[in-house]
Chains A and B, each alone.
Chain A
Amino acid sequence: MRVLVDVNKFTTDSVKALYEKHGAALAAYGCCCGLDSGSAEDVVQQVFLKLLQGNVGVVQAPLAYLYRAVRNASINQRRDRRREAEIPEGEQWFTHATADRAEVLSLQNALRELPEEQRETVFLRVWSGMTLQEIAEATETPLNTVASRYRYALEKLRERLRERSGRQG
């Protein structure tokens, strides 16, 4: 079942609530798409402001729309800035209560190396809390495909993280 949402019906409060809940994950997703954290935050702000201004018409599944919008905007911004200085390698866009910096950077790099669709699925599942069924509906993808993407993504992440921890250990 697909839910169509008229974004003109979004109130400032509902958009703010959506931002508070998913803004950080979306910014991290922007970083995964190749932006520095400042630019990723700007991109997320712009996407939400568009939503607030009602400039995006009717969307299917707002969360999936937000991820797609952030990805597209990040790619555009990255392309526009391709001649500028590269992003600093050690920037952290995740935090962890006990893990050290190297472990955080390992995860970030592993996420960056994932194919786009797998990365999107991982973010929607892990950091936006959607079920695989919801992701399938939101992205208009068969459930089996989404489940496969997620499984492959976890395998690759496990492999990369293991490689890195083996190298460090």
Chain B
Amino acid sequence: MPIDDNDLEKYLGEFQPRAVRPLETSRPAAMAWMGRLAAAALLLLSVGGGLWYARHKRNTPREEAKLATVRVEARVEERRINPILLTKLALEDPKRFEEQLEAESRLVLPNLQGQQSTLRVLAKE
């Protein structure tokens, strides 16, 4: 065993650290590119998927029925008749009054004759 400091230093220097693998400088760049590519692909997929879904989305019959009702209500709201004018029409021209009422009822009541009519849909469910 070396006694002197210099000898001990020399003795220690004879031990060599085990060799290590070469520095892998390319890995992080490749990893970063892979990461970016994966993120871009994910973004593309989600945007594409969202668009596709928005274009191809089909409402359920119940939703369609609801929409029909909303549309009718909107139309009624647009065409609301003044009750005073209607009363005047009833007094002056009962026949025209009847025609007016019938026409308005077609707009107000849901369509019961079509294949996707509200009544049919509700009856099925």
The verdict on A48 contacting chain B, using a C-beta distance below 8 Å, is: yes
Tell yes or no: A53 within 8 A of B by CB: yes
**Is B15 a contact of A96 with CB atoms below 8 Å?**
yes
Check B20–A122 contact: CB distance below 8 A: no
Whether A27 lies near B17 (C-beta < 8 A) is: yes
Which of A45, A99, A127, A157 is in CB contact (< 8 Å) with B17? A127
- Total A-B pairs in contact (CB under 8 Å)? 75
Question: B18 is contacted by which of A20, A95, A154, A158 (Cβ under 8 Å)?
Answer: A95
Describe B's contact surface by its main secondary structure: loop
Interface size class for chain A?
35 or more
Check if A65 is an interface residue, CB within 8 A of chain B: no
A15 CB contacts on chain B under 8 angstroms: 23, 25
Checking A28, A53, A104, A157 against B28 with a beta-carbon cut-off of 8 angstroms, the contacting residue is A53
Interface code B10-35, partner A: CB below 8 Å = 1, 0 otherwise? 00111111111101110110000000
Q: Is A12 an interface residue (CB 8 A)?
A: yes
Closest to A107 in B: B15
Q: Does A16 contact B (CB under 8 A)?
A: yes
A154 touches B1 (CB 8 A): no
A87 at the interface (CB under 8 A from B): no
Residue of B nearest to A28 (CB): B17
Task: Report whether B25 and A12 are in contact in the complex, using a CB–CB cutoff of 8 Å.
Answer: yes
Distance of A37 Cα from B18 Cα, bound (Å): 9
Known A126-B9, A151-B5; contact A24-B25, beta-carbon cutoff 8 A: no
Inter-subunit contact B15/A95 (CB<8 Å): yes
B15 near A41: Cβ-Cβ < 8 Å: no
Query: Is A135's CB within 8 Å of the partner chain B?
Result: no
Interface flag for B83 (CB, 8 Å):
no
Interface residue? A124 (CB, 8 A)? no
Residues of A within 8 A of B27 (CB): 49
Interchain residue pairs with CB less than 8 A apart (25): A15-B23, A15-B25, A23-B20, A24-B17, A24-B18, A24-B20, A27-B17, A28-B17, A41-B20, A41-B21, A49-B25, A94-B18, A95-B15, A95-B16, A95-B18, A96-B15, A97-B14, A99-B14, A104-B15, A107-B15, A126-B9, A126-B12, A127-B13, A154-B9, A158-B8
Q: 5 shortest A-B CB distances, which residue pairs?
A: A28-B17, A24-B17, A94-B15, A19-B23, A23-B20
Other A-B pairs beyond A23-B20, A24-B20, A94-B17, 19, CB < 8 Å: A20-B23, A24-B18, A27-B17, A28-B17, A45-B23, A45-B24, A49-B27, A52-B25, A53-B28, A93-B17, A94-B18, A95-B15, A96-B14, A97-B14, A154-B8, A154-B9, A157-B12, A162-B1, A165-B1
